[in-house]
Amino acid sequence: MNAVLFVHLIAIGIWAGCVATEVVLEIALKKASPQQSGLALLHARIDRFVEIPAIVVALLTGGAMLHHAAWDTLLIAKVSLGASAVVLNSTAAFTVHRRLQCLNAQDMAGYQRFNRLHERIGIGCVLSIAGAIAVGGYRIAV
């Protein structure tokens, strides 16, 4: 395993760990009031300081490895799922940021709108990153 692949795998592990943590937080704090739960601020901080940097590292290292890769069906599937995960997660991070802005402005209708949008996009995030990890792991194993 070369250094770029190692860094790529670490970044994906951090990213997936953030996603898993955020899912648990979103579910556990769903019934609490947004003003008291701290969910919006905590999720926004995880996105800003951990998850988005991990996504950037995964994207850069993944792109760097593509120059030397032999394209096959599995690689196409992995790259497609990974690209979907990046786009969906970036969109989800935007909804998390807007949700926090709405909460800070005491715009609860806006908070609920971005919260619903985040929940819907989040499903795609989880499925696409899990799929990319599964295909990538299988591809390394064979």
DSSP characters over 8-27: HHHHHHHHHHHHHHHHHHHH
The per-residue pLDDT string of the chain (142 residues; one tens digit each, 9 = 90 and over) reads 799 999 999 999 999 999 999 999 999 999 999 999 999 999 999 999 999 999 999 999 999 999 889 999 999 999 999 999 999 999 999 999 999 999 999 999 999 999 999 999 999 999 999 999 999 999 989 9
- 122, 26 Cβ separation under 8 angstroms: yes
Query: 44 is in which domain, residue-wise?
Result: 3-141
pLDDT score of 1 = 75
Taking the C-alpha atoms of residue 116 and residue 12, their distance in angstroms, rounded to an integer, is 26
CATH number at residue 57: 1.20.120
pLDDT score of 52 = 98
Taking the C-alpha atoms of residue 88 and residue 82, their distance in angstroms, rounded to an integer, is 10
In sign, the C-alpha dihedral spanning 102, 105, 42, 33 is negative
Total domains in the fold of the chain? 1
